[in-house]
Amino acid sequence: MPELPEVETVRRTLAPRLLGRAIEEVEVFRPAQVRYPDPETFRRSLRGRRFAEPGRRGKYLLLHLEGGGVLICHLRMSGRLYLTPAGAPRAPHTHVVFHLDDGQELRYQDQRTFGGFHLPDPDGRGTPEGLLTLGPEPLDDAFTPAYLHSRLAGRRAPVKAVLLDQSAVAGLGNIYADESLFRAGIRPDRPAGEVTPEEAEALWAAIRAVLAEAIAHRGTTFSLYLDGEGRAGDYYRLLRVFGRQGQPCPRCGAAVVKSRVAGRGTHWCPQCQR
Ligand SMILES: [Zn+2]
């Protein structure tokens, strides 16, 4: 599933080729992928609009439009949003196509169909609930060790569950939560309230380092993710625990284990993480 580094990579790869382009037509092949408004209003509202600089919040891609308004895209499990020449063969599971004024198409492909688009009204109606309740961006100054500790304090839930809670911190998912906890030496199933301020600071630093490195490597392609130009991310080979169950821990050599924490398959080292 695309997380912050993958969505940021999509944003960065789309930005130079999307900026200033006008939408000439919109084709919706699977109406359920347009979450708001209805597909016909969606088409009519977007025809003739021009893309401004794209942004991102958490795992939401914010395709701002010149003159106001924003086309919001969430890739969920398997969404791909990429630019391609209009004549290129259309891949299976292509649900929405935006025809641009320079002969390119912005295509939305989604095998598992959990993702899609919101185009909120000018008064904000239609904005996805999850976007309104997002916590701070982990790479911004507002995300501090003290803030992270305050969100963990008093909680009996596993520390990993708090990292996955988008209202605590935006953009982390299963891959980067596991990698961050490994680097910080914290067991994913520890009750969050037992994490000390010193450990919270180590976790804060680990989250920022892991995300920055993953962005620099254009994200992780574990199964279906591709960037805005249809390329895979290569952070996969730098993963230390995620997907490496049974293989030696890169720090101590003990076998990485996989167990279920916070309802998710979780990878960790029983020696290095306490
Ligand atoms: Zn280890």
pLDDT digits (tens, 9 = 90+) for 64-88: 999 999 999 999 988 999 999 998 9
Q: 28: domain CATH number?
A: 3.20.190.10
Among 132, 153, 168, identify where a domain stops.
132
9 and 127 part of one domain: yes
Half-sphere exposure of 46 (CA within 13 A, CB side): 33
Assign 89 to helix, strand or coil. Answer: coil
Res 222 pLDDT > 90: no
Flag whether 226 is in a domain.
yes
The residue range of the domain holding 34 is 4-132
**Residue 229 buriedness (CB in 10 A; 0-12 / 13-18 / 19+):** middle
**Number of folded domains that form the chain:** 2
Cα(269) to centroid(ligand 1), Å: 5
Whether 84 and 167 map to the same domain: the answer is no
Residues, CB within 5 angstroms of ligand 1 (ion)? 249, 251-252, 254, 269, 271-272
Q: Are residues 80 and 197 in the same domain?
A: no
Which amino acids are annotated catalytic? Answer: 2-3, 59, 264
pTM confidence score: 0.95
| Total residue length of the chain | 274
Q: How far apart are CA 146 and CA 104, in angstroms?
A: 46
Q: Tell which of 132, 167, 186 closes a domain.
A: 132
The pLDDT-based confidence of 26 (bands split at 50, 70, 90) is: very high
- State the Cα–Cα distance between residues 182 and 175, nearest whole angstrom: 11
Q: What is the pLDDT of residue 215?
A: 96
Same domain, 153 and 262: yes
CA 263 / ligand 1 centre spacing (Å): 23
128 and 8, same domain (yes or no): yes
Q: Is 51 part of a structural domain of the chain? A: yes
Residues 206 and 232 in one domain: yes
Please indicate, yes or no, if residue 137 is contained in any of the structural domains: no
How many whole angstroms from 152 Cα to the centroid of ligand 1? 24
On whether both 10 and 128 belong to a single domain, the answer is yes
Q: Are 8 and 213 in contact (CB under 8 A)?
A: no
DSSP tag of 22:
B
Give 98-122 pLDDT, tens digit per residue.
999 999 999 999 999 999 999 999 9
Res. 231: pLDDT tops 90: no
In a domain, 246, yes or no: yes
The answer to whether 70 and 63 are in contact (CB under 8 A) is yes
Q: Does 17 map to a domain?
A: yes
DSSP character for 250?
T
Predicted local confidence at residue 237, as pLDDT: 85
Cβ pair 249, 271 in contact under 8 A:
yes
Let me know whether 219 and 124 are in one domain: no
Residue 159 has a pLDDT of 98
Q: Are 73 and 152 found together in one domain?
A: no
